[in-house]
Chains A and B, each alone.
Chain A
Amino acid sequence: EAGVVQSPRYKIIEKKQPVAFWCNPISGHNTLYWYRQNLGQGPELLIRYENEEAVDDSQLPKDRFSAERLKGVDSTLKIQPAELGDSAVYLCASSGDHADYNEQFFGPGTRLTVL
């Protein structure tokens, strides 16, 4: 079974440029998460989707970050404009039915460098 797929794996941009990351979760997983992981830190949740609904976006910096999951499957996270402090690894994760807590499976991440 395919895991969580993310692209691109690496992205280098100049500050003030826009950037977008794409995630395809594990088939059948209704819940999708975007995390940001800074060097030497644990992942921090940016947004959680249940199907196509963003149920927790309290940690998403809405002035420059946006996300969408239009058909409840793939998701895109965008930053516009990027700042130097946005350099990090952006991880997508998915999990199954929330009848009980289910393991979150992470993708390989997109490593963003803002110059």
Chain B
Amino acid sequence: RKEVEQDPGPFNVPEGATVAFNCTYSNSASQSFFWYRQDCRKEPKLLMSVYSSGNEDGRFTAQLNRASQYISLLIRDSKLSDSATYLCVVNQDYKLSFGAGTTVTVRA
């Protein structure tokens, strides 16, 4: 079983729509959680950390459910520039485990 599993998508949404997706992780001892964004043929970049209480960064909302070992990301008012692959990332003892990514395509 993979440490981090994500729905690969693709999620194809119109501009202005809301899109949400999630991932699950297998190691209950995981300590911290993140969403990274990776554009086509580019390197991953940190989008946001995920806190137990849930957190927002502009149009992006992340949620963590430790009991269910589940992380989610919601994007409101999607922009064309949000088209990317979103990597769910779990940290334990400074070792990051990445999911395979969820691809989002926002169309005009």
**A and B, one complex?**
yes
Indicate if the CB atoms of B43 and A45 lie closer than 8 Å: no
Within 8 A of B (CB), among A65-115: 91, 98, 101, 103-104, 106-109
Residues of A within 8 A of B42 (CB): 108
- Of the four ranges (under 10, 10 to 19, 20 to 34, 35 or more), the interface on chain B belongs to 10 to 19
Proximity string of chain B (86-108) to chain A, C-beta cutoff 8 Å, 1 when within and 0 when not: 01010100111011110000000
Q: A42-B100, A101-B31 are in contact. List 9 more A-B contacts (CB 8 A).
A: A40-B100, A43-B44, A43-B96, A45-B96, A48-B94, A101-B94, A106-B45, A107-B43, A108-B42
| CB<8 Å pairs between A and B, sample of 14 | A40-B100, A41-B100, A42-B89, A42-B100, A42-B101, A43-B98, A45-B95, A98-B94, A101-B31, A104-B46, A104-B96, A106-B45, A107-B43, A108-B43
With A48-B94, A98-B94, A101-B94 already in contact, the answer to whether A42 and B99 are too (CB < 8 A) is yes
Asked whether any CB of chain B lies closer than 8 Å to the CB of A56, the reply is: yes
- B46 closest partner in A (C-beta): A103
Interface residues of chain A: helix, strand, loop or mixed (majority): loop
Give the B-binding residues of A (Cβ under 8 A).
Answer: 31, 40-45, 48, 56, 91, 98, 101, 103-104, 106-109
